[in-house]
Structure 1
């Protein structure tokens, strides 16, 4: 007798991540030192602020939800994620946007007991700010800034006299002279009404050397020091020509004069150097109580050429202000991967590791998921539960390749070499559930349990571009009779990904090794990094 098609849920008993890169063994870190990057994996566009003895950091998350992670530290090295500024589905609507749209380059600032995050929701509402009295949240609903329409990367500067200003990257006045021609603008801001007012003014047209046609000046921050106003910006685009530049003025609204530039880049180094770090820029500065300055910034760690799957990561370096101008690194100097810790009391509270070789195991035994878990875009319905020591997903019609909000929960790939395992209980007459490695809707691998007319199988599925079916193509398949839970494994080793499964005993490799450059920014495009996660689909 045929049974009716039943849509069963998929339950995952745990999620285990282990990562270690060759550089972790090659670069020894002494107890008095810290390791770069300080936050590995997809943590781009860092912005930092200090309140007393506490430091807070935020990042871009684009069309992932929850968005804009908020981190806390007391020593600039040990970081804990304390929340997300965008954690309610009705704060922003990411619609069906590509994963590299949404929230770009948040900037955090504190003034008079209020935390401010300024941001841009690209293709989903333009520029806004959210506020909170506690950086762990809750954060307000977005307060929109219509005068900044068409701009990105807004940041707030509050002067010693209480006057406030917003600086941002926007189109130049008139017609752009070339591709990538942008400008840095400034406008007054009312801290009582949370509104901009007065005229907008161009501070930088094109970049620090307009005659060279510089591209994509962005990420501006204003800093007051010793009677000067320093404007630091990223310039050169987000790839290997990325850099950080500086200008200064006696007034916050200019005119600004460029200094010796760039103050940070890696574009002037040989490509064949060992353990390269590239694409450095988009910095923000913070001052410690001893008067020293530090820069948080993004950079990438390619495993070959310009291939990297871990996205843009957060680094930390001291700022040399021994002269009149700040400098993060001299020319032709590689970013150090280990260096002396800031002169701050060590933060000894327990914290999940974020740098070097590390692993973690999620047992799904808490009342809610931790703030580091991500989904693609805003949820429109409830489709997961935590109960009985398991994460249970509802298979739904929307899948990994559908530019929607699939039943998919993920965490960042934080090492070039990483192994992820999970155990799934899924015995349904319809649908599939398993483990995915994903860079965006068009570029992913998945190893999944599914049911066919011939019985239960384990399948390796891949999607390598928008020209391929949204459901992916079947790469390999193996019978998995019975109803026992199945363990699934994904392994990343630079440009190679492998997948395996077992019900008991030894692991069984499924399919040939896969070309992991499919998940790289160089091939997939965009601004995000790869994630590993669990999913369930009704297909």
Structure 2
């Protein structure tokens, strides 16, 4: 029956051929662990950023499909210490909420001080410095307002720190005093293990608490944040429990479907719900778009689906229903046109004429701000070469942009005169410290060259040279990295648009979570280094552009 109902629902949806539609994901590329809140007719989303800076992007929409980034919640060094953080550490799983004139974000800074809360009157910022919550241990904290009280729910260890099996976790709760900005009372155990402890469920996490029709609901992720990821739901007549799991859990998963289906969307979970002013419900959640057998370089992305309520329980996807790439817009009376710069085949161009960096850019850990300038030479990004490299857990000269699509390209032009073979500048496609490719300009025996390197293998310090070619000129050089799902191709040009292939068929799986591990997606980055040598050399970038070309979005 579930399969029939789900098939009828989506057949009806897609039969509405005259309806205006939007594309999933709504935030393409590395935008994991989404959280959403509504204030009147406005919607706000934030996502994880791990070891990148600034942290916690803030997105705004009035219709749930057209999104604009309006800032970053942690954009000051005093707020966020990423010193020595591994790329997949740092900021985990924020929750954003609004209550009586104040915005709240609760988040985890892993390996540092743990869980914290920040606040703002305006979601654009400025956001406050963190207030640390030492009693709230574990990860994935959520602040939720129910019955005019605030509660913090979160993932924590097994009872008494004695797990019955690997992945045995719990969901806990404290009441929270928003005036004193601290937890009060005793910690309450809400869920032990997951939906059915006897079946040894793993990694119950990402909890959110809300009330509807005299029931208290607790939605959580279960199964780990990989291919077996799911979203499950519990409910209770009391905010403190006991919470009973829905007998037809999970309410969202794709783990049982054929991996060989066309344009699969997988790894669904870590959801958050929002209700529209007219009583419709929607879920944002993370998912991945892999190629072949669960390989993806774009990381975990943010998707949107409707939530239907039946028999007192929320329903998202059931049976063999797949996450659709295209759906009718949620609020057709409001959406005049779908033009979401963060979804579909993304395009982005920056000519560096602004004196401020676009919100989409990311630095690797806390930036050395003196290494970057948009004003020294107007219309150019000046990037100072420094001894730090992308392989170290430091702050290299690195300005990153997320790979938004499985297929597409990033390109730039660079003016740079290396003083030695150690000096190199160009563009990375970067997953983590030990998993990246570097397309760059340098010199060999005093002659200018374009080079392609593979990051050093673990335990090594020297990168592997994959290709090198002499250049005819010391002037402007154009660089392009093309993503082709399972491979990358690297190009250069000494005259605009006169592209020459440096190397094709370079292994893309090297940059996937399945090979490299971690929780992040790949970034294209403007990057330069002197590889440990002191230098005063700078590289000038004239422009940067990105263009996606995924098959799923082609008309």
**Structure 1 residue 238 and structure 2 residue 228: aligned?**
no
**Structure 1 residue 532 and structure 2 residue 520: aligned?**
no
Q: CA deviation at 1:454?
A: 3.1
Using a 3 Å threshold, how does the CA distance of structure 1 residues 344 and 464 change in structure 2: closer, same or farther?
farther
What is the alpha-carbon distance in structure 2 between the residues aligned to residue 212 and residue 420 of structure 1? Answer: 46
- Choose from 385, 395, 409 the match for 2:399: 409
Which residue does the alignment assign to 1:20?
none
What is the alpha-carbon distance in structure 2 between the residues aligned to residue 28 and residue 447 of structure 1? Answer: 46
Which residue does the alignment assign to 2:488?
497
- Choose from 332, 338, 342 the match for 2:320: 332
What is the alpha-carbon distance in structure 2 between the residues aligned to residue 28 and residue 276 of structure 1? Answer: 23
**Structure 1 residue 164 and structure 2 residue 154: aligned?**
no
- Choose from 437, 446, 450 the match for 1:454: 446
Which residue does the alignment assign to 2:499?
507
**Structure 1 residue 422 and structure 2 residue 409: aligned?**
no
Using a 3 Å threshold, how does the CA distance of structure 1 residues 383 and 400 change in structure 2: closer, same or farther?
same
TM-score (norm 1): 0.92
What is the alpha-carbon distance in structure 2 between the residues aligned to residue 482 and residue 490 of structure 1? Answer: 21
Q: How does 1:64-83 map to 2 (within 5 A)?
A: 64-83=52-71
Residue pair 2:398, 2:525 contacting (<8 A) in 1 also:
yes
What is the alpha-carbon distance in structure 2 between the residues aligned to residue 168 and residue 122 of structure 1? Answer: 14
Which residue does the alignment assign to 1:99?
87
Q: How does 1:232-311 map to 2 (within 5 A)?
A: 232-259=219-246, 260-311=248-299
Q: CA deviation at 1:346?
A: 3.1
Which residue does the alignment assign to 1:219?
206
Q: CA deviation at 1:455?
A: 1.5
Residue pair 1:266, 1:334 contacting (<8 A) in 2 also:
yes
Which residue does the alignment assign to 1:36?
24
Q: CA deviation at 1:223?
A: 1.2
Residue pair 1:165, 1:189 contacting (<8 A) in 2 also:
yes
Residue pair 2:65, 2:338 contacting (<8 A) in 1 also:
no
- Choose from 366, 378, 383 the match for 1:393: 383
- Choose from 215, 220, 231 the match for 1:228: 215
Tell me the C-alpha RMSD between the 2 structures: 1.7
What is the alpha-carbon distance in structure 2 between the residues aligned to residue 318 and residue 155 of structure 1? Answer: 22
Which residue does the alignment assign to 2:468?
477
Task: Indicate the larger mover: 191-200 or 476-485.
Answer: 476-485
Residue pair 2:346, 2:404 contacting (<8 A) in 1 also:
no
Mind listing any 5+ residue stretches in structure 1 that lack a counterpart? 1-26
Residue pair 1:73, 1:347 contacting (<8 A) in 2 also:
no
Residue pair 1:401, 1:472 contacting (<8 A) in 2 also:
no
1:399 partner SS = coil
Residue pair 1:180, 1:215 contacting (<8 A) in 2 also:
yes
Which residue does the alignment assign to 1:155?
142
Residue pair 1:29, 1:338 contacting (<8 A) in 2 also:
no
Which residue does the alignment assign to 1:436?
428
Q: How does 1:357-372 map to 2 (within 5 A)?
A: 357-372=345-360
What is the alpha-carbon distance in structure 2 between the residues aligned to residue 440 and residue 29 of structure 1? Answer: 43
2:82 partner SS = coil
What is the alpha-carbon distance in structure 1 between the residues aligned to residue 310 and residue 164 of structure 2? Answer: 37
What is the alpha-carbon distance in structure 2 between the residues aligned to residue 538 and residue 258 of structure 1? Answer: 56
Q: CA deviation at 1:512?
A: 4.2
Q: CA deviation at 1:96?
A: 1.0
Using a 3 Å threshold, how does the CA distance of structure 1 residues 59 and 465 change in structure 2: closer, same or farther?
farther
Using a 3 Å threshold, how does the CA distance of structure 1 residues 57 and 250 change in structure 2: closer, same or farther?
same
What is the alpha-carbon distance in structure 1 between the residues aligned to residue 227 and residue 66 of structure 2? Answer: 28
1:223 partner SS = strand
What is the alpha-carbon distance in structure 1 between the residues aligned to residue 203 and residue 308 of structure 2? Answer: 25
Residue pair 2:255, 2:266 contacting (<8 A) in 1 also:
yes
Q: CA deviation at 1:31?
A: 5.3
- Choose from 463, 479, 484 the match for 1:488: 479
Give aligned pairs, total: 510
What is the alpha-carbon distance in structure 2 between the residues aligned to residue 347 and residue 61 of structure 1? Answer: 29
Using a 3 Å threshold, how does the CA distance of structure 1 residues 406 and 345 change in structure 2: closer, same or farther?
farther
Residue pair 2:20, 2:332 contacting (<8 A) in 1 also:
no
Residue pair 2:365, 2:394 contacting (<8 A) in 1 also:
yes
What is the alpha-carbon distance in structure 1 between the residues aligned to residue 432 and residue 90 of structure 2? Answer: 13
What is the alpha-carbon distance in structure 1 between the residues aligned to residue 94 and residue 337 of structure 2? Answer: 27
1:254 partner SS = coil
Q: CA deviation at 1:268?
A: 1.6
Using a 3 Å threshold, how does the CA distance of structure 1 residues 32 and 442 change in structure 2: closer, same or farther?
same
Residue pair 1:450, 1:456 contacting (<8 A) in 2 also:
yes
Mind listing any 5+ residue stretches in structure 2 that lack a counterpart? 1-14, 532-555
2:309 partner SS = coil
Residue pair 2:36, 2:45 contacting (<8 A) in 1 also:
yes
What is the alpha-carbon distance in structure 1 between the residues aligned to residue 122 and residue 206 of structure 2? Answer: 25
What is the alpha-carbon distance in structure 2 between the residues aligned to residue 187 and residue 203 of structure 1? Answer: 10
Which residue does the alignment assign to 1:124?
112
- Choose from 175, 186, 205 the match for 1:199: 186
Residue pair 2:264, 2:289 contacting (<8 A) in 1 also:
yes
CA offsets 1:495-525 (integer angstroms, 9 cap, x no match): 1111111111621211342101111111010
